[in-house]
Chain A
Amino acid sequence: MAKPANHDPSEWVDRYGGYLFRYAMLRMRDRSTAEDLVQETFLAALKGRGSFSGNSSESTWLVGILKHKIIDHFRHQAREVPLGENDLREHPDPSSFDGSGHWTSGPADWGGNPADLYREKKFLDQFTKCLSGLSPNHANAFTLREIEGADTGEICKVLNVTETNLWVILHRARMHLRRCLETNWFERSAKKGS
């Protein structure tokens, strides 16, 4: 059930600030950018109070505004730092493969099936760290695809790339992320466990 909107902006920060901030943090990976976007969201909501239809809950309405701001941010970033040669080179991780394209050292066994990882704050922190290690456009592409669940057509428009290029970017992003999590999470927890 949606709570009745009270539209008392003095309560917004306490009621929704934490939620919006976590939402922004997962997608922006940077504390001060996330704080700024939360602030901008509340300011835009204050201005646009009249347009709140009441059909959705207040928190859904606010997250909707924040989501737009995040996507705008990605669009600006893509314009400011257009994809370079490096972003599109076909070999995201050349050292993993030999000259004939076979693994030199394959993916490690991650052990068991860690299904509940998403509940662990430490994993979330490591995931965010690994995502920040990618170039911004790669991390943004991954975020739109895997966190937002956007389809490739939408992502191409936001990042201004062709679909073929996007596939290369996502491939690269996944490969780096997988390796980063392996090194910093799975291999460490295997060592701790033994």
Chain B
Amino acid sequence: MLSCKDVTQLISQSMDASLPIGKRIGMRLHLLMCKFCSRYERQLLLIRETVRGIVATEGKSGEPPGETLSEEAKDRIRKSLRNS
């Protein structure tokens, strides 16, 4: 019988590789019965989707969220380009 601790490891591994069939079935059966582990899986997948959303909007124009390059840093970089 797989424990919740085992299953969290398998959930993560299944996001990186395909699991051997026995482990996959064991994990799926456990997830059907275990509220916490299936919530855990949903949350890891939500984090993955959110990160993909961040990456997908990164190159778009407009005002993407995130930090901006300070004026000091810009000046420093301009100077280094001129001097090279």
Residues on A with beta carbons closer than 8 Å to the beta carbon of B67: 21-22, 25, 31, 34
B contact residues around A121 at 8 Å (CB): 65-66
Q: Say yes or no for B33: interface residue by CB 8 A criterion.
A: no
Cβ of A147 and Cβ of B55 under 8 Å apart? yes
Distance between Cα atoms of A100 and B1 in the complex (Å): 11
Expressed in whole angstroms, the Cα–Cα distance for A77 and B40 within the complex equals 30
- CB pair B4–A101 under 8 Å, yes or no, is yes
Of A47, A102, A171, the residue contacting B13 (CB under 8 A) is A171
Q: Please tell me if the beta carbons of B77 and A38 are within 8 angstroms of each other in the complex.
A: yes
- Docked complex Cα distance between A163 and B56 (Å): 27
- The verdict on A175 contacting chain B, using a C-beta distance below 8 Å, is yes
Interface size on A, residues (CB 8 A): 65
Shortest Cβ gap from A66 to chain B (Å)? 12
CB distance from B8 to the nearest CB of A (A): 7
B5 touches A97 (CB 8 A): yes
A75 within 8 A of B: no
Could you say which residues of chain A place their CB within 8 Å of the CB of B74? Answer: 13-14, 17
Chain A interface main SS type: helix
- Work out how many contacts link A and B, with CB atoms closer than 8 A: 150
Decide if A146 touches B51 in the complex (CB within 8 Å).
Answer: yes
Does B29 count as interface, using CB distance less than 8 angstroms?
A: no
Closest-CB distance, B80 to chain A (whole angstroms):
6
Q: Is A23 an interface residue (CB 8 A)?
A: yes
Can you list, as one digit per residue, whether each of B34-76 has a CB less than 8 Å from chain A (1) or not (0)? 0111011001101111111111111100001111111001101
Number of B residues with CB within 8 Å of any CB on chain A: 48
A145 to B49, CA, bound (A): 13
Of residues B40, B77, B82, B84, which shows the largest number of chain A Cβ atoms within 10 Å of its Cβ? B77
- Looking at the assembled complex, report how far the CB atom of A146 sits from the nearest CB atom of chain B, in whole angstroms: 5
In the bound complex, do residue A97 and residue B4 qualify as a contact, i.e. CB atoms below 8 Å apart? yes
Q: Chain A residues near B50: list those with CB within 8 A.
A: 117-118, 123, 127
Shortest Cβ gap from A62 to chain B (Å): 11
Q: Tell whether, in the assembled complex, residue A178 and residue B40 are in contact, meaning their CB atoms are under 8 Å apart.
A: yes
Asked if A124 and B39 make an inter-chain contact with CB atoms under 8 angstroms apart, the answer reads: no
Tell me which residues across on chain A come within 8 A of B69, comparing CB atoms. Answer: 17-18, 21, 35, 38
A-B residue pairs in contact (CB < 8 Å), sample of 18: A10-B82, A18-B69, A19-B59, A26-B54, A35-B70, A101-B4, A101-B6, A106-B39, A107-B39, A107-B43, A110-B46, A113-B46, A115-B49, A121-B66, A123-B50, A167-B13, A167-B16, A170-B16
